Amino acid sequence: MERTLRKMFKTCGSPLPAFWCGVLLGLAMSFVVIKSSPKRKAIPGAFWLTVQVTFKRAEDVDIFKTAFAPLAAFVEKNEPRTLSYSMAQSDKDPKTVLLFERYVDKNDAYLEVHRKSAPFKVFRPQLAAMEATISGESYIESNMGFMS
């Protein structure tokens, strides 16, 4: 038994019982995970746009996703002042999607860069042709909370 305990202490690297060694290792790993999480402070003045799109048919959501995917890929690669650009599908109504857009500012990043991009100009008429019900809201970010 003594030999086994010595082996465990050596594995841990200190003269602590194996249980406490495990506890400390777990805490250390939790600290690393928490410290490396991508939470970021709020950016006061950042411009948010939420757009809810409700389609008449469930099949139209797939058509929308096909049209939206290249725009989302372009935004991620070419618009560094766009902080977030994401789509979510409703868990209550599969014919409804929500676009969440977050920009460093409204005038430059959103109006001048994003809305004038070629992929956005291609996407807009595609969306209009889908005859969906579209509603949107815009917001200015506060200095409270965080985004990840």
Q: What are the residue boundaries of the structural domains of the chain, listed by start?
A: 2-35, 40-141
CA distances from 34 to 27, 31, 43 (A): 10, 5, 21
Helix (H) or strand (E) holding 136: strand 133-140
Name the CATH topology of 40-141: Alpha-Beta Plaits (3.30.70)
Q: What is the pLDDT of residue 143?
A: 80
User: Binning pLDDT at 50, 70 and 90, where does residue 14 land?
Assistant: low
Of residues 84, 102, 85, 86, the one with CA closest to residue 139? 102
In 21-132 the beta strands, taken as DSSP E runs, fall at 40-41, 47-54, 82-89, 96-103
15: Cβ contacts below 8 Å, ≥ 6 apart? 9
- More confident: 23 or 131: 131
In 2-111 the beta strands, taken as DSSP E runs, fall at 40-41, 47-54, 82-89, 96-103
User: What is the DSSP-derived secondary structure letter of residue 128?
Assistant: H
| CA separation for the pair 142, 45 (Å, rounded) | 7
The pTM (predicted TM-score) of the whole model is 0.72
Residues 24-50 have pLDDT tens digits of 444 444 444 444 556 677 888 999 999
Q: What is the pLDDT of residue 113?
A: 98
Please report where in the chains the tokens 């460093």 appear, as a residue.
Answer: 104
